[in-house]
Amino acid sequence: MQESAAEWMLLRRHNALYIWAGLVAVVHILFNMTGWISGFWPNVIHFIGFSWLCVGWYGATDESKKLKTIYYGLALAGTISVLWLFFSEDAIYARGIKLSVYDWIAGLVVIVVALEMTRRTAGWLIPVLILIALGYVAWWGQYLPGVFRFSGLSLETILFRSIFGDDGMFGSIASISSSFVMMFIIFGAFLVRSGAGDFIIELAKRSAGKLHGGPGLIAVISSGLTGTISGSAVANTASTGVITIPLMKKAGYDARFSAGVEAAASTGGQLMPPIMGAGAFVMANYTQIPYTQIVVVAFLPALLYFLTIAAFVRLQAKKSGIKPEIQNNPTPLLEMMKQGGFSFLVPIALLIGLLIYGLSPTYSAGFAILAVIASSWLSPNPMGPRAVMDALALGAKNMVMTALLLITIGLIVNVVATTGIGNTFSFMIVQWAGGQLWIAIILIALASLILGMGLPVTAAYIMVATIAAPALQQLIMENHLVDLLIQGALPEAAQVTMQFVGNITDVNLAAPMPPDQAAEIVARLPRDLMPTVLDVSIDPTLATLALLSAHMIIFWLSQDSNVTPPVCLTAFTAAAIAKTKPMPAGLSAWKLAKALYVVPFLFAYTPILSGNWAEAIPIFVFAAAAMYAMAAVFTGWLSQYLIIPLRVVLTVLAVLLIWPTTLWVHIAALVVLIAIWGLNRRGVLVPEGHLSGSTRAG
């Protein structure tokens, strides 16, 4: 695609950085595929490589030579300091974890360099939050009242844990960055360089061009597919938007709506398996749930998101009178495959196959990279040495901000782990929510939105998940506990525990009971002893599902900052391409991305993530119908104009289709929705001035 081609051509102009970026990528591929280094060292190399790239790529174009020299000096100081620390690790332990003067200097330099490089790439918010967090654990936490009071640790302990701790800068999150995330970002760069992006656009045109709202649907499909090769919603928008937005405007969509469609669809690229951006790897690490399981159960929700946007696009096209596009002499499918299809489909199929077979994501990505190179030779643009170098350099460049961010954010995660403040916040969320799961979800959505205004999506997810996931998991498990009481299926050990901790002796806990009574009994249990009750009541499989649901809720909600004003970088990027005002484009994207706020409730209240397809598929079908109804409500159009009373009825039907009630209620709501669609199509209850010509003629 034009945008990507311009990017790697720009890379070549900076010879030294171009070579360094390629070298950084090669080194990461080598140690991930061969395991020739282990422990902290992959993360140390990760930090060194991207510190130098940060200075080169994120410097202002008008930055003075003197300032540039200072930054390169900073990168050099960080390199020497981090090497000193990890070569001195054995000596530090031999001294009983006592730091020498040189260790102190090196540790402080590493932290300062990490903070400054993060500020340079992602802005001031993360460094400020880190300084506040370090100040809390070192000093001012002792002056707080109540549960937030923390007596403090010695500066030596803080520095040691920040560098060498499992939750510190070079710990588990940095390992995710240097392995899974890095390999998949490089894989995406290889797909882009091989011409797979052009194939995606052509495939989208071929599959959706003849439908109502074809150009808009092309944007939805191409952005969804590009999401499989991109780690950034903004990058997704920039690459596909330069083609799809002009296409939509030419078809008759206004610029604001066109920008909103591209921004919303590109945001969904972060939700689409098999890659799902960096957050999926972090989620796998946090939950210890296999990555393959996460991406499999994430498919239906991601598809639901894109179907929602497609519904808006289709209904808006009908409302605006945009006709299907007639393609004269479309490119034959075999020709499309030769032009770039093999470069996209073969590596993706191999990647999915290897993941299903059980190979680790890192190795799967490595073999998929080789598959891109090999399959490109079946296209008119075979990847030779220069193209391979372009892809390596582009992958490293695309990783700079994420790499430094995930290393530096370890400082906050370490503080949360050390102080236990995450558990405190979780307890507070449960308290504020009053035991109501839906209130907790709204609170977390607000927190994600506020943090997302100044943080990249992955950082917002990590921070919110660290403090809120335990609370969400507990509330979801409480819902399971209520279900067990309703069914009369509470284990005997749980009955005894509840009678003891809640003094519940007036009810037969072994017998089925009405929902209201079951909810009232759970509400009587002491909040501080609830985890004990849940441990003996909830099956481990259900507990794991609750954990996955909690993290998936937060992961989805962390995406909303891409499309929710006042700060929504993805929408602003699309607005620049569409040549329209950014705030209206942001509002349009926010409306189109409604599934971001609805689907998390499905995670909380239904088994859509259970992996049981017999349960998940009906939930998906009814939810898809509900989202189509909501799209009709917002656009004011179904097959024809919708009067206000019908919009109210459709809103009620949408709620009934999503609400976790009986199958018969869902079926009845779906039947009524189909009946309204049929009547609307025939012009029943459509004002005379809004009837289509075909209806009047009939």
pLDDT band at 631 (very low <50, low <70, confident <90, very high): very high
pLDDT band at 621 (very low <50, low <70, confident <90, very high): very high
Look at residue 423 and tell me whether its pLDDT is greater than 90: no
Q: DSSP letters of 474-519?
A: HHHHHHHHHHHHHHT---HHHHHHHHHHH---SS-TTS---HHHHH
291 occurs within a structural domain: no
Last residue of a domain, one of 541, 562, 583: 562
Look at residue 598 and tell me whether its pLDDT is greater than 60: yes
Residues in the chain, total: 698
Look at residue 128 and tell me whether its pLDDT is greater than 50: yes
| DSSP character at residue 560 | G
Q: How far apart are CA 49 and CA 34, in angstroms?
A: 19
CA 317 to chain CA centroid, nearest Å: 29
SS3 for 211-252, per residue? CCCHHHHHHHHHHHHHCCCCCCHHHHHHHHHHHHHHHHHHHC
In terms of domains, do 421 and 519 share one? yes
pLDDT band at 160 (very low <50, low <70, confident <90, very high): very high
Report how many domains make up the chain: 3
- Rg over alpha carbons for the chain, rounded to the nearest Å, is 27
- Pick the more confident residue, 324 or 246: 246
In terms of domains, do 426 and 516 share one? yes
In terms of domains, do 625 and 554 share one? no
Q: Which of 210, 206, 216, 197 is nearest to 592 (CA)?
A: 216
- Pull the structure tokens for residue 235: 């990058």
Q: What is the pLDDT of residues 477-496, one digit of tens each?
A: 999 999 999 998 888 888 88
In terms of domains, do 556 and 664 share one? no
Q: Which of 178-182, 230-234, 425-429 has the lowest mean pLDDT?
A: 230-234
State the residue range of the domain holding 471: 417-562
172 occurs within a structural domain: no
**Average pLDDT of the residues in 390-397:** 90
- The amino acid at residue 557 is L
In terms of domains, do 544 and 628 share one? no
Q: How far apart are CA 585 and CA 224, in angstroms?
A: 20
In terms of domains, do 531 and 631 share one? no
- Pull the structure tokens for residue 494: 């749980």
In terms of domains, do 552 and 684 share one? no
Look at residue 503 and tell me whether its pLDDT is greater than 70: yes
49 occurs within a structural domain: yes
Q: How far is CA 165 from CA 110, 171, 552, in A?
A: 14, 6, 27
In terms of domains, do 533 and 622 share one? no
64 occurs within a structural domain: yes
441 occurs within a structural domain: yes
- Pull the structure tokens for residue 359: 């190979």
pLDDT band at 256 (very low <50, low <70, confident <90, very high): very high
Last residue of a domain, one of 133, 166, 199: 166
Q: How far apart are CA 260 and CA 308, in angstroms?
A: 13
In terms of domains, do 471 and 554 share one? yes
424 occurs within a structural domain: yes
Q: Which of 395, 375, 373 is nearest to 384 (CA)?
A: 373
For CA atoms 568, 569, 574, 580, give the dihedral sign.
positive
In terms of domains, do 514 and 639 share one? no
Residues of the chain with pLDDT > 70: what percent? Answer: 87
352 occurs within a structural domain: no
pLDDT band at 83 (very low <50, low <70, confident <90, very high): very high
Per-residue pLDDT, 321 = 79
In terms of domains, do 153 and 74 share one? yes
Per-residue pLDDT, 697 = 38
48 occurs within a structural domain: yes
Last residue of a domain, one of 522, 538, 562: 562
Put residue 252 in one of left, alpha, beta given phi > 0 → left and psi -120 to 50 → alpha: left
In terms of domains, do 627 and 512 share one? no
Kindly report the average pLDDT of the chain as a whole number. 84
Q: What is the pLDDT of residues 207-233, one digit of tens each?
A: 655 666 666 777 777 776 776 665 567
Tokens 């392995």, residue located: 179
pLDDT band at 547 (very low <50, low <70, confident <90, very high): very high
Dihedral pair phi/psi, residue 641, rounded to 5°: -55, 140
**Average pLDDT of the residues in 328-349:** 68
Put residue 490 in one of left, alpha, beta given phi > 0 → left and psi -120 to 50 → alpha: beta
